[in-house]
Chains A and B, each alone.
Chain A
Amino acid sequence: QSALTQPASVSGSPGQSITISCTGTSSDVGGYNYVSWYQQHPGKAPKLMIYDVSKRPSGVSDRFSGSKSGNTASLTISGLQTEDEAGYYCCSYAGSSPVVFGGGTKLTVL
């Protein structure tokens, strides 16, 4: 059960859009429509931002969107705001080894 692959860091300016990728295999990301994304500020618990590839929980801004193509899922944040600066983790259901996380991506808002 290998971790999903995410870029270590991404950056953007306020108002811009950024995309974070999450690459897995046909046994996890590519095999199920069960990809979720989490935002984590320093010292805080992760917060669910996207589930089932592209669904947003109640209360999450529509600036956050998710998608998937093949074995790669993506999180897009539009209209970047300073409060979006945080760590972001993807996660996928993986069948017999039920859950696998990505290594995490640090988003810097310049």
Chain B
Amino acid sequence: QVQLQESGPGLVKPSQTLSLTCTVSGGSISSGDYYWSWIRQPPGKGLEWIGYIYYSGSTYYNPSLKSRVTISVDTSKNQFSLKLSSVTAADTAVYYCARDREGAAFDPWGQGTLVTVSS
């Protein structure tokens, strides 16, 4: 079955850019049946959708983060990536990647990776 795995630095300095990659295994990101999402969860708080990408490169972002977010896809590596610029402590969170089977139905999810913003 399809599995997702996040990777990237666990510590980012304020004002820098957070960069994460999600590697998809057990299925092709180019299948065309799904969108590929990033979702985050600050410690002790709720879930926040960041954005998603289609294999063709079409993207949709959370309006509250749109000015700082870029999501890209590399179909040759079966990966998609997140860049979040100008980070502050408020961006400290567990970042998840997930597959959207359409209509905001996220399944499966990666295990999540904690990113801390601190100097």
Instruction: List residues of A whose CB falls within 8 A of some B CB.
Output: 1, 3, 32-36, 38, 45-48, 51-52, 57, 89, 91-94, 97-104
Contacts of A52 in B (CB 8 A): 103, 105
State in angstroms the CA–CA spacing of A47 and B47 once bound together. Answer: 12
State in angstroms the CA–CA spacing of A1 and B46 once bound together. Answer: 15
Instruction: List residues of B whose CB falls within 8 A of some A CB.
Output: 37, 46-49, 52, 60, 62-64, 96, 101-112
Structural contact, A98 and B47, CB atoms closer than 8 A: no
State in angstroms the CA–CA spacing of A19 and B109 once bound together. Answer: 25
| Closest partner residue, chain A, to B101 (CB atom) | A51
B47 CB to nearest chain A CB (Å)? 4
Provide the main secondary structure of the chain B interface.
loop
Known A45-B110, A46-B109, A102-B46; judge A97-B63 contact (CB<8 A): yes
Q: Which of B60, B64, B102 contacts A1 (CB 8 A)?
A: B64
State in angstroms the CA–CA spacing of A11 and B102 once bound together. Answer: 31
B114 CB to nearest chain A CB (Å)? 11
Q: Which of A48, A94, A104 contacts B47 (CB 8 A)?
A: A104
